[in-house]
Structure 1
Amino acid sequence: MNNWRLKEIIVMSVLSVVFGIVYLAFLPIGKLLASFMGPIGYDFIFGIWFIVSIIAAYILRKPGAAFLSETIAATVEMLLGNAMGPIIIVTGIIQGLGAETAFAATRYKRYSLWVLMLAGVGAAILSFIWGYFRSGYAALSTPYVISMLVARMLSGAIISGMLGKAISDSLAKTGVLSSFALGKQMHKERSVS
């Protein structure tokens, strides 16, 4: 984090706290969906639980932003009372690593919609592998498990990637991100057109 500016650290931390609260707020929605559909109910909205990693990385464009923001958000969620306790931090680390992988693959140079969606899919896949062993998905039928994985990957691409980009772009259009990488890029694009 040598080349991080203080305001970048502050923005990442604020985003992480806000989304830690959002993550906790979405647990009852996941439980409700799971009560009707079984475990797959969570997978349809699972992308919400790693959206901060995509938003922070897209705004800041710094190595580690996805990983750190997701880890901080999971810590906040735990401190606010997530019933899973400290293991939720490990979950956040895994989700953050999954998202971070997509940005690392582009050497932190590409932040297109496709890369953001891929980051969401990466977080979905790693979190699913973790969940498979931790939550006993092996006891479920193979077609059901595959359906869960596909639903989670789509959720990662759509909720984390597409919605994360839309939220970030909307924030940038207000001018509040003008001194951050995303705000500078948008200003440059407006100047050219």
Structure 2
Amino acid sequence: MNNWRFKEIVVLSALSVVFGVVYLAFLPLGGVLVGFFGPIGYDFIFGIWFIVSIIAAYIIRKPGAAFLSETIAAMVEVLIGNAIGPMLIVVGMIQGIGAEAVFAATRWKNYALWVLMAAGMGSAVTSFIYGYFMSGYAALATEYVVAMFFIRLISGALIAGLLGKALSDSLAKTGVLTSFALGKEYRRKNAS
């Protein structure tokens, strides 16, 4: 992080705190969905728990942004009362690794929509593998587990990737990101 500017660290931290609160706020909705659909209910909205990694990476565009933002958001969520406790930090790290791996594959140079959606799907894959072993998915019917996986992939792509891009682009339009990579890109596109 020695090539990070102070304001990038501040924005990454602020985003992480905000989304730590958002993540905790979405747990009741997940509980309602589980009540209606069983364990697969969470998978419909699982992408919300990956979104900060996409937004932070898209705005800042530096190695580690996806991983760090997701990890810090998990820490915040633990501090404000997630019932899972400190193990949630491990979950955040695993989700962050999934997104970070996709950005790393592009050498942190490509932030096109398809890359952001793939990063959301990367988080879906790593979180699902972790969940498979830690949450007892193996006890469920194979078809059900496959459906859970594909729904989580779609949620990662659409909620984390697509919605994350839309929220970030909306912020860039306001001008508050002018000194960040996304803000500079937005100015270049609109100057032509």
The match for 1:74 is 74
Query: C-alpha deviations, 1:23-72, integer Å up to 9, x for none?
Result: 00000000000011000000000000010000000000000000000000
The match for 2:183 is 183
The match for 1:151 is 151
2:93 corresponds to 1:93: yes
Query: Which secondary structure does the structure 1 equivalent of 2:130 belong to?
Result: helix
Amino acid at match of 2:54: I
Query: C-alpha deviations, 1:116-137, integer Å up to 9, x for none?
Result: 0000000000000000000000
Q: Structure 2, unaligned stretches of length 5 or more? A: none
2:48 corresponds to 1:36: no
CA RMSD of aligned residues (A): 0.3
Amino acid at match of 1:124: A
Amino acid at match of 1:119: A
Q: Structure 1, unaligned stretches of length 5 or more? A: none
> What fraction of aligned residue pairs are identical, expressed as a percent?
71
2:151 corresponds to 1:118: no
Query: Which secondary structure does the structure 1 equivalent of 2:8 belong to?
Result: helix
Moved over 6 A (4+): none
The match for 1:134 is 134
**CA deviation after TM superposition for structure 1 residue 6, in Å:** 0.3
Could you tell me how far apart the structure 2 residues matched to 1:162 and 1:93 are?
Answer: 21
The match for 1:6 is 6
Query: Which secondary structure does the structure 2 equivalent of 1:108 belong to?
Result: coil
Amino acid at match of 1:163: L
Query: Which secondary structure does the structure 1 equivalent of 2:16 belong to?
Result: helix
Amino acid at match of 1:26: F
Query: Which secondary structure does the structure 2 equivalent of 1:156 belong to?
Result: helix
Could you tell me how far apart the structure 2 residues matched to 1:39 and 1:67 are?
Answer: 26
Amino acid at match of 1:42: Y
Amino acid at match of 2:155: S
**CA deviation after TM superposition for structure 1 residue 139, in Å:** 0.2
Superposed, 1:39-58 pairs within 5 Å as 39-58=39-58
**CA deviation after TM superposition for structure 1 residue 187, in Å:** 0.4
Scaled by the length of structure 2, the TM-score of the pair is 1.00
Scaled by the length of structure 1, the TM-score of the pair is 0.99
The match for 1:102 is 102
Amino acid at match of 2:69: S
**CA deviation after TM superposition for structure 1 residue 191, in Å:** 1.3
